[in-house]
Protein backbone atom coordinates (compact mmCIF):
# COMPACT_ATOMS: atom_id res chain seq x y z
CA UNK A 1 0.00 0.00 0.00
CA UNK A 2 2.78 2.44 0.82
CA UNK A 3 4.50 1.76 -2.50
CA UNK A 4 1.27 2.49 -4.39
CA UNK A 5 0.87 5.74 -2.46
CA UNK A 6 4.52 6.63 -3.11
CA UNK A 7 3.93 6.15 -6.85
CA UNK A 8 0.69 8.17 -6.75
CA UNK A 9 2.41 11.01 -4.87
CA UNK A 10 5.20 11.14 -7.44
CA UNK A 11 2.81 10.91 -10.39
CA UNK A 12 0.88 13.85 -8.95
CA UNK A 13 4.07 15.89 -8.52
CA UNK A 14 5.03 15.16 -12.12
CA UNK A 15 1.56 16.20 -13.35
CA UNK A 16 1.87 19.45 -11.42
CA UNK A 17 5.26 20.31 -12.93
CA UNK A 18 7.55 19.61 -9.97
CA UNK A 19 9.89 17.39 -12.02
CA UNK A 20 10.48 19.51 -15.10
CA UNK A 21 14.07 19.61 -16.34
CA UNK A 22 16.62 20.22 -15.13
CA UNK A 23 16.15 18.21 -11.93
CA UNK A 24 18.07 19.60 -8.96
CA UNK A 25 18.28 16.92 -6.25
CA UNK A 26 19.81 19.35 -3.77
CA UNK A 27 16.76 21.55 -4.17
CA UNK A 28 14.49 18.54 -3.57
CA UNK A 29 16.30 17.86 -0.28
CA UNK A 30 16.04 21.54 0.67
CA UNK A 31 12.28 21.42 0.04
CA UNK A 32 12.00 18.45 2.42
CA UNK A 33 13.91 20.49 4.97
CA UNK A 34 11.60 23.47 4.39
CA UNK A 35 8.59 21.33 5.29
CA UNK A 36 10.28 20.42 8.58
CA UNK A 37 10.97 24.11 9.18
CA UNK A 38 7.27 24.82 8.65
CA UNK A 39 6.51 22.11 11.23
CA UNK A 40 8.84 23.81 13.70
CA UNK A 41 7.07 27.11 13.07
CA UNK A 42 3.70 25.52 13.92
CA UNK A 43 5.15 24.45 17.28
CA UNK A 44 6.70 27.86 17.92
CA UNK A 45 3.86 30.10 16.77
CA UNK A 46 0.23 29.29 17.57
CA UNK A 47 -0.80 31.71 14.80
CA UNK A 48 1.26 29.91 12.14
CA UNK A 49 -0.50 28.58 9.10
CA UNK A 50 -0.95 24.81 8.95
CA UNK A 51 -1.14 22.06 11.52
CA UNK A 52 1.34 19.56 12.89
CA UNK A 53 -0.37 16.81 10.92
CA UNK A 54 -0.33 18.78 7.67
CA UNK A 55 3.34 19.65 7.94
CA UNK A 56 4.29 16.07 8.82
CA UNK A 57 2.24 14.89 5.84
CA UNK A 58 3.91 17.45 3.55
CA UNK A 59 7.32 16.20 4.69
CA UNK A 60 6.46 12.55 4.06
CA UNK A 61 4.91 13.40 0.68
CA UNK A 62 8.12 15.12 -0.43
CA UNK A 63 10.21 12.18 0.83
CA UNK A 64 7.97 9.70 -1.01
CA UNK A 65 8.16 11.80 -4.16
CA UNK A 66 11.96 11.84 -4.10
CA UNK A 67 12.17 8.13 -3.26
CA UNK A 68 9.97 7.25 -6.24
CA UNK A 69 12.06 9.41 -8.57
CA UNK A 70 15.21 7.65 -7.32
CA UNK A 71 13.62 4.21 -7.68
CA UNK A 72 13.72 3.49 -3.96
CA UNK A 73 11.13 1.22 -2.34
CA UNK A 74 10.65 3.37 0.73
CA UNK A 75 8.56 0.76 2.58
CA UNK A 76 11.36 -1.80 2.20
CA UNK A 77 13.98 0.73 3.34
CA UNK A 78 11.94 1.78 6.38
CA UNK A 79 11.27 -1.83 7.34
CA UNK A 80 14.96 -2.76 7.00
CA UNK A 81 16.13 0.28 8.98
CA UNK A 82 13.54 -0.37 11.69
CA UNK A 83 14.92 -3.90 12.13
CA UNK A 84 18.40 -2.42 12.61
CA UNK A 85 17.10 0.17 15.08
CA UNK A 86 15.36 -2.48 17.20
CA UNK A 87 18.73 -3.90 18.20
CA UNK A 88 20.57 -0.63 18.74
CA UNK A 89 21.59 0.54 22.19
CA UNK A 90 19.59 3.04 24.24
CA UNK A 91 19.64 6.36 22.35
CA UNK A 92 22.33 4.80 20.18
CA UNK A 93 24.83 5.71 22.92
CA UNK A 94 24.10 9.42 22.44
CA UNK A 95 23.07 11.87 25.11
CA UNK A 96 20.24 13.51 23.14
26, 88 in Cβ contact below 8 A?
no
Using one digit for the tens of pLDDT, what is the confidence trace for 22-68?
Answer: 999 999 999 999 999 999 999 999 899 999 999 999 999 999 999 99
Query: For the residues of 35-96, what is the DSSP string, one character each?
Result: HHHHHHHHHH-TTSSS-HHHHHHHHHHHHHHHHHHHT--HHHHHHHHHHHHHTSPGGGG---
pTM for this entry: 0.90
- Distance, in Å, from the CA atom of 72 to the CA atom of 53, rounded to the nearest integer, reads 24
Domain of residue 29 covers 2-93
pLDDT (average), residues 71-94:
92
CATH number of the structural domain spanning residue 48:
1.10.287
74, 7 in Cβ contact below 8 A?
no
- The domain tally of the chain equals 1
Instruction: Indicate the pLDDT class of residue 69, thresholds 50, 70 and 90.
Output: very high
Amino acid sequence: MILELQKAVHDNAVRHGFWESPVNLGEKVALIHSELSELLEVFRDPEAEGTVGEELADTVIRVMDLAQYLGIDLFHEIEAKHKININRSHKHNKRF
